[in-house]
Structure 1
Amino acid sequence: MKRLFLLLLLSLINLYPQEIDSALLLKANELAKEITIVDTHIDLPDWLYDEWFDVSVKSDYGEFDFERAIEGGLNVAYMSIYTSPNLEAQGKSKLKADSLIKLVEIMEQLWPDKFKIIKNVSEIKKLNQQEKILLALGMENGSPIEGSLDNLREFYSKGIRYITLAHYKSNHICDSANDPERKWNGLSPFGEEVVKEMNRLGIMIDVSHISDSTFYDILKLSKAPVIASHSCCRFFTPGFERNISDDMIIELAKSGGVAQIAFAGFFLREDINQKYLAGEEQIKEHLKNYNITPGTDSAWQYESQYWTENPVGSATVEDVANHIDHIVKLVGVDYVGIGSDFNGVGDHLPFGLEDVSKYPNLIYELLKRGYSENDIRKIFGENLIRVWEKVEEVSAAQK
């Protein structure tokens, strides 16, 4: 505890060189251990797929491992089962998703004293007193469903408890916010069946990455509240459809849903966003000119090198808190949470939120702004748990 407190103090000194409240920071660190922290988006499985490494011990590789998670007070970590949109045309999406799920199962098998996969919200309260990281599964990109509701049911049986319906390209389910081609103008006919079956099964519908028209189609159709597992507020990045607009936040709240704020700098600030988007265009042009397929190792290596040579600047803990503030002022404290996108955004994380040990820094910032302990309990986990419970209730009523 003392060691972590000193590390957090050092990290915050750079942010607030003349105004550190050590007593408040200590309170933030203690509160992180008391509350239930749920992070709805951590991209660890794809890392393990590319290169297996020991996540049961502390390392400086990526942003997640058991020891750092315990230091930060993390209780429930949603492992992202991410498949590249490029796999859909190859018919390999489900194969990749199944492989990633298996890797999470291997984590539990290798380190049963440290990790436990959960499939029901009641398991959080039952298992939370143990010093384990509870692993839930969220599928990022619905392509692995591959046009079959039987596949969707299979993924439910394997533990998938939310699905981001698309990623950076439109797919057979719906349109993507990142894709200028709008094939369906929202949900496809099959996508409508997917939404209904997700309601029946008890899988949360994730509206991150999807187009605005898809978002409104889902809200009209879904009987259960929805989540944005890792998104930010478009108010701060005007015209950036990947983030959710004020009207969408209002409608999300009306449905009882929750927006989980991501930590990516290019989601958080307009200046960083503009530099990032310009860089993305240059990267696409390079890949096209050199005939490099996006999503491949070669593409990722070039992209990593590009950002190292062309940094776009770093956001801060304050920027994340600004997005939380915006939602709270717009619709109240019951409709916002956190979905970091750790291991998913490279070097684009905010200063002070570099990995899973740093959640207390965000708690500190919120305490500084006058948030109560009860508010923080809601933001860091209880709001998401409430939605998960409601989704299970809607499912139970249909069975």
Structure 2
Amino acid sequence: MKRRDFMRNAALLGTTVGLVRASGAWSIAPMVVEESRRSLAFQQDESDRSLSHPMAIQRSTLVVSGLDVSTLNERYLGMLKAGGVNCWHKSMGGTQSFADVYNFLDQHSDTIIPVTTVREIRQAYQQEKIGLVFGWQSAEVLESKQSNAEVYSRTALRAYYELGLRIVGIAYNLVNDFGAGCLHRYVGLTRAGRRLVEEIHNLRIVLDVGGHTGEQTSLDAIAMSKGVPVICSHANAAGIVDNPRNISDRMIEAIAKTGGVVGILATNDYHARSRKDAHIPRSPQAKLKAHLDHYDYVRKLVGVDHVGIGPDFIEGRAIDYEAVTRANTFPREVKSDGPWILVKGFENITELPNVIRGLIKRGWSAGEIRKVLGENWLRVYKQVWGV
């Protein structure tokens, strides 16, 4: 059995995977291997008899994590492998973040490599490596106090494209030079924002709207995206939970009409906290059922071709929550006080099999689940990037 398949199977069986460092890499603890081998063999036989088994479904497709801001390190590589992820859209920052990531990639090229095309993603998969896609949740990196935003953003974006940037959002909750975030729903694209969207499409970068970007800014950008699929990498349905960070039916439908995809995220507050809960310091942890409801909702509204996984995990990130509160980027109607938590049952990427099992129990077919796990993301990437 290939190493990739074993890691994937161990996670799908729900076994407790012990990750230990040996020779500079993370692997499954030997004692866990022995304890799970008999169950693994039985479950593998069962999966061969039914293409509806979660193990069989995940092994039969290329799995894409549509957005994840976790820190890239050896520990997280082990978690990605245990979760069966083959391609990861990682949120990036300025040039220093690219330098840091490339330094890590140079040292771990046998495990993870940067990818800028679907062909490269598939090649990485065949080589049993993880393909890493670089993206921005917001274009605020392109803001400049010294230069004209329209001119600087276009030329600077080209430089980041050469570094491998392939997915770009517009704003992060608040207003910037290009448009508005989700806390300013009715503010549209600025003149500089329109030039930015034009350049995003000229460079064949995937445009990421909704979620952190405000509704009117997103709709303005979609209106400029004729014949080009647009995504929302990570958001949930406001039709279920009226949180400003979630997106409306109108937004979901507008994205779907472009041929795009909405990635369902795992952050607890976007399952359990609405605008009217601003007086509550901390919302209770939602169960996996609440997470699965968003997949069902989007599928019913626009069809399975427009649903993906965009969990937005934050493993390894050192976040100053007091600074976040002071900046008012996440006011109480958006976020509970204190650290972010994830929904019960999908608190990290190794628990992805729980989502697959849940969708199976709700009647999703193997083909539908494969679309959610990666086929939908890959379709959009190929349409925009070209290959």
Q: TM-score, normalised by structure 2?
A: 0.76
Of structures 1 and 2, the one scoring higher in RCO (CA 8 A, sep 6+) is 1
Mapped pair 1:237 → 2:263: no
Who is 2:11 aligned against? 4
What's the CA shift for 1:110?
1.4
SS in 2 for 1:381: helix
Mapped pair 1:44 → 2:96: no
Who is 2:169 aligned against? 164
Matches of 1:73 and 1:243 in 2, distance apart? 27
Q: Give the conservation status (yes or no) of the 8 Å contact 1:41–1:77.
A: yes
Mapped pair 1:361 → 2:354: yes
SS in 1 for 2:370: helix
Equivalent residue letter for 1:178: L
Aligned in 2, Cα 1:117/1:278: closer, same or farther, shift over 3 Å? farther
Equivalent residue letter for 1:189: R
SS in 1 for 2:354: helix
Q: Give the conservation status (yes or no) of the 8 Å contact 1:56–1:114.
A: no
CA offsets, 1:129-176, max 9 Å, x none?
A: 222221111112111112211101111111111111110211001011
SS in 1 for 2:245: coil
1:73 to 63, 84, 106: 84
1:227 to 215, 225, 231: 231
Who is 1:196 aligned against? 198
Equivalent residue letter for 2:168: I
Long gaps (5+) in structure 2: 1-5, 18-42, 144-148, 318-334
Q: Give the conservation status (yes or no) of the 8 Å contact 1:206–1:229.
A: yes
CA offsets, 1:363-395, max 9 Å, x none?
A: 0101111111111111111111111111124xx
What is the alpha-carbon root mean square deviation over aligned residues?
Answer: 2.5
Equivalent residue letter for 1:236: I
Identity between Structure 1 and Structure 2 (%): 30
Mapped pair 1:370 → 2:363: yes
CA offsets, 1:294-328, max 9 Å, x none?
A: xxxxxxxxxxxxxxxx6522122222211010011
Who is 2:374 aligned against? 381
Q: Give the conservation status (yes or no) of the 8 Å contact 1:261–1:339.
A: yes
Q: Give the conservation status (yes or no) of the 8 Å contact 2:173–2:214.
A: no
Q: Give the conservation status (yes or no) of the 8 Å contact 1:167–1:178.
A: no
CA offsets, 1:49-90, max 9 Å, x none?
A: xxxxxx224xxxxxxx112211111011111114xxxxxxxx
Long gaps (5+) in structure 1: 11-21, 49-54, 58-64, 83-96, 280-309
Who is 1:88 aligned against? none
- The alignment of Structure 1 onto Structure 2 pairs a total of residues equal to 318
Matches of 2:67 and 2:119 in 1, distance apart? 20
Runs of 4+ in structure 1 deviating by more than 3 angstroms, as ranges, are 1-10, 22-26, 344-347
Matches of 2:103 and 2:16 in 1, distance apart? 36
Mapped pair 1:214 → 2:222: no
1:27 to 44, 53, 62: 53
Higher helix share: 1
Who is 2:38 aligned against? none
Mapped pair 1:135 → 2:132: yes
CA offsets, 1:178-226, max 9 Å, x none?
A: 248x7xx210101001111101101111113111111110111113111
Q: TM-score, normalised by structure 1?
A: 0.74
SS in 2 for 1:205: strand
Aligned in 2, Cα 1:333/1:200: closer, same or farther, shift over 3 Å? same
1:145 to 142, 145, 158: 142
